[in-house]
């Protein structure tokens, strides 16, 4: 056994700033794991809520924007983030199927969190992007042109910033450009306009009336915080709000205005865990170690943490995050993220892709291929990945739901093996090495026989003795997680 480092309790984690009081009408107290079923059809989401998410303890499902979007030749995934109206006609289903999905998920005990696009509409300048081609048509039959969405918005409802040659964002540290110029050529809504605010508030009210329980605000960094607050106030909605904001590992003073509104996506976690596990060591995850001091973090109570998301797994924003293509390394990263007490957790459920442009699996008519097909579940067959169904990740969700309390009994071999407890409720060992890990670990668990949550099938028994110690062997690139809920009756 290599050298042991045993700390009886974890040190306090540095967060970089204090958390201002949030808006009283919006909850930052929602708990439980979210799964992002990226580009899934509404009927498939509903069935997954009933057959898998609810029974396996997932608290919420994040779904792709449900609004009518621009039809882009080749059907890339990002066309879903180019709304042309607030109708509900998309390749994922219509209004009736969306509303039915929300009701069925709610009955299964799973909240629906909608990805909402408030910052922009579809292409403003008709520029081609790679293989993309402007069509001027929407998935529900709407037609539109530059800064012209008939019956909804016209030219005066958009920012025309005049700060750069083409009105696009050039300087990402310039708050005026970031909030008033065009993001990648998308027509930037003037969210200070009463007409724009009322239109967006009405859309949020519509979602709320159907039972939607949460909202991910796409590109929130590109909207002034006072505009978001005004829109949400006019909408008068309840529920979980998380704002997509890339901090680049720096908690700037302007972020406080967003933290008063709701939670924030913690991209620093994604960046740090990717760098640590690809280029450094697992020991860098130690309390107070490199992982926690290399970047500034959003206050824990208002952060949404994740190993990857639909952007980062495609390399957007720098080096690609750890993702499903990394196999066992990805599983272990999810185990650590779900087991460590920091922020709310979200796991990704992807479709397979070879290029950034590539959209969800589709047939010859460009219809999205169902996850629940005529011949069974289309997971793991080269189309839908369904990471959330991997036994290790599902087991880590169960562990997350069963444990409580601070980190205790931290241990590392100084390199790529770590272990830690969650007080008297759970204990985790992660072997990130290429060799067998054989040893004995001190826990704070009561004596007894436990099942490893991360093993598929029959119980892999783990014994904890009267002194709280467990002895075991772990294969390379595997983990063990036991908790009070997996303890066997005498």
Give per-residue pLDDT as tens, 112-149. Answer: 999 999 999 998 665 545 555 678 999 999 999 999 99
Half-sphere exposure of 55 (CA within 13 A, CB side): 6
pLDDT for 281 equals 97
Q: Are strands 186-188 and 120-123 parallel, antiparallel or unpaired?
A: antiparallel
Give per-residue pLDDT as tens, 186-209. Answer: 999 999 999 999 999 999 999 999
Give buried/exposed letters for 329-368 (b at 16+ CB in 10 A, else e).
bbbbbbbbbbbbebbbbbbbbbbebeeebebbbeeeeeeb
Between the alpha carbon of residue 348 and those of residues 138, 306, 402, the distances in Å are: 27, 8, 21
Q: How many residues does the chain have?
A: 490
Region of residue 126 (left: phi > 0; alpha: psi -120 to 50; beta: else): left
pLDDT for 125 equals 62
Give per-residue pLDDT as tens, 282-294. Answer: 999 999 999 999 9
Q: Per DSSP, what are the bridge partners of residue 483?
A: 426
Range in 123-127, 163-167, 359-363, 433-437 with the lowest mean pLDDT: 123-127
Residue in the block written with tokens 């770590």 = 418
What are the residues whose beta carbons fall under 8 Å from the beta carbon of 127, sequence distance 6 or more? Answer: 134, 185
Give per-residue pLDDT as tens, 60-75. Answer: 999 999 999 999 999 9
pLDDT for 128 equals 46
* Average model confidence (pLDDT) across the chain: 92
Q: Does residue 4 have a pLDDT over 50?
A: no
Is 404 noted as a catalytic residue in this protein? no
Give per-residue pLDDT as tens, 361-386. Answer: 999 999 999 999 998 899 998 899 99
Cβ atoms of 285 and 10 closer than 8 Å: no
pLDDT for 10 equals 35
Q: For the chain, what percent of residues have pLDDT higher than 70?
A: 91
Give per-residue pLDDT as tens, 83-99. Answer: 999 999 999 999 999 99
Mean local confidence (pLDDT), 258-276:
95
Token pair of 70, please? 């621009």
Mean local confidence (pLDDT), 391-414:
97
Region of residue 326 (left: phi > 0; alpha: psi -120 to 50; beta: else): alpha
Cβ atoms of 45 and 101 closer than 8 Å: yes
- The structural domains of the chain, ordered by start, are 18-402 (3.20.20.80), 408-486 (2.60.40.1180)
Mean local confidence (pLDDT), 405-415:
97
Half-sphere exposure of 12 (CA within 13 A, CB side): 4
pLDDT for 381 equals 84
Cβ atoms of 28 and 301 closer than 8 Å: yes
Mapping DSSP to helix (H, G, I), strand (E, B) and coil, where does residue 451 land?
Answer: strand
Sign of the torsion angle spanned by Cα atoms 69, 207, 264, 38: negative
Point out the catalytic residue in the list 115, 218, 271, 387: 218
Sign of the torsion angle spanned by Cα atoms 119, 125, 129, 135: positive
pLDDT for 24 equals 35
Of 18 and 348, the structure prediction assigns the larger pLDDT to 348
Mean local confidence (pLDDT), 405-414:
97
pLDDT for 375 equals 87
Give per-residue pLDDT as tens, 446-457. Answer: 999 999 999 998
Give per-residue pLDDT as tens, 6-43. Answer: 333 333 333 344 444 444 334 334 689 999 999 999 99
pLDDT for 124 equals 66
Between the alpha carbon of residue 475 and those of residues 31, 322, 416, the distances in Å are: 32, 21, 13
Is 48 noted as a catalytic residue in this protein? no
Mapping DSSP to helix (H, G, I), strand (E, B) and coil, where does residue 300 land?
Answer: helix
Helices (H) and strands (E) in the chain, counts: 10, 21
pLDDT for 15 equals 38
Angle at 483 between CA 334 and CA 402, to 5 degrees: 70
Mean local confidence (pLDDT), 380-393:
95
Angle at 61 between CA 59 and CA 66, to 5 degrees: 150
Mean local confidence (pLDDT), 259-266:
96
Mapping DSSP to helix (H, G, I), strand (E, B) and coil, where does residue 234 land?
Answer: helix
Q: Which of 268, 240, 243 is nearest to 255 (CA)?
A: 243
DSSP 445: S
pLDDT for 18 equals 45
Q: Which of 165, 149, 166 is nearest to 157 (CA)?
A: 149
Residue 18 to residue 12: CA distance in whole angstroms: 14
Cβ atoms of 274 and 40 closer than 8 Å: no
Q: For the chain, what percent of residues have pLDDT higher than 90?
A: 86
Point out the catalytic residue in the list 89, 182, 244, 413: 244
Give per-residue pLDDT as tens, 290-332. Answer: 999 999 999 999 999 999 999 999 987 666 689 999 999 999 9
Q: Which of 312, 112, 306 is nearest to 215 (CA)?
A: 112
Half-sphere exposure of 182 (CA within 13 A, CB side): 23
């Amino acid at each position: 056994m290599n050298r042991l480092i045993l700390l009886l309790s974890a040190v306090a984690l540095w967060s970089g700033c204090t958390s201002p009081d949030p808006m009283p009408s919006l909850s930052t107290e929602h708990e439980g794991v979210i799964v992002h079923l990226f580009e899934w059809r509404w009927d498939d989401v509903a069935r997954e809520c009933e057959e898998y998410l609810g029974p396996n303890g997932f608290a919420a499902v994040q779904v792709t924007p449900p609004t009518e979007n621009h039809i882009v030749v080749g059907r890339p995934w990002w066309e879903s983030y180019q709304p042309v109206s607030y109708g509900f006609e998309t390749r994922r289903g219509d209004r009736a199927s969306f509303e039915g999905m929300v009701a069925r998920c709610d009955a299964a005990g799973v909240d629906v969190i909608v990805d909402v696009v408030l910052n922009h509409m579809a292409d403003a300048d008709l520029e081609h992007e790679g293989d993309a081609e402007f069509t001027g048509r929407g998935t529900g039959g709407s037609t539109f042109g530059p800064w012209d969405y008939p019956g909804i918005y016209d030219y005066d409802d958009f920012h025309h910033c005049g700060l750069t040659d083409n009105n696009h964002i050039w300087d990402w540290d310039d708050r005026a450009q970031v909030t008033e110029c065009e993001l990648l050529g998308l027509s930037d809504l003037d969210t200070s306009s009463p007409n724009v605010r009322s239109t967006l508030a009405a859309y949020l009210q519509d979602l709320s009336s159907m039972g939607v329980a949460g909202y991910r605000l796409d590109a929130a960094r590109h909207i002034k915080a006072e505009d978001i607050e005004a829109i949400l106030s006019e909408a008068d909605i309840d529920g979980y709000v998380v704002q997509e904001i890339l901090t680049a590992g720096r908690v700037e003073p302007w972020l406080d205005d967003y933290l008063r509104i709701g939670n924030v996506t913690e991209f620093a976690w994604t960046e740090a865990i990717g760098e640590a596990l690809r280029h450094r060591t697992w020991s860098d995850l130690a309390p107070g170690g490199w992982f926690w001091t290399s970047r500034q973090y959003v206050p824990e109570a208002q952060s949404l943490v994740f190993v990857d998301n639909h952007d980062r797994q495609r390399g957007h924003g720098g080096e690609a995050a750890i993702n499903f293509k990394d196999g066992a390394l990805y599983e272990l990263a999810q185990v650590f993220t779900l087991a460590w007490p920091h922020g709310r957790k979200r796991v990704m459920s992807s479709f397979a892709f070879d290029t950034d442009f590539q959209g969800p699996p589709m047939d010859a008519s460009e219809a999205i291929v169902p996850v629940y097909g005529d011949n069974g579940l289309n997971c793991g067959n080269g189309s839908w990945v369904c990471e959330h169904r991997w036994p290790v990740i599902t087991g880590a969700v169960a562990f997350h739901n069963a444990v409580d309390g601070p980190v205790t009994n931290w241990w590392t071999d100084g390199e790529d093996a770590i272990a830690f407890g969650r007080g008297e409720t759970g204990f985790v060992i992660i072997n990130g090495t290429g060799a067998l890990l054989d040893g004995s670990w001190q826990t704070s668990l009561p004596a007894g026989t436990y099942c490893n949550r991360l093993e598929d099938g029959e119980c892999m028994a783990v014994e904890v003795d009267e002194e709280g110690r467990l002895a075991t062997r772990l294969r390379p690139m595997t983990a063990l997680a036991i908790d009070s809920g997996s303890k066997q009756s005498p």
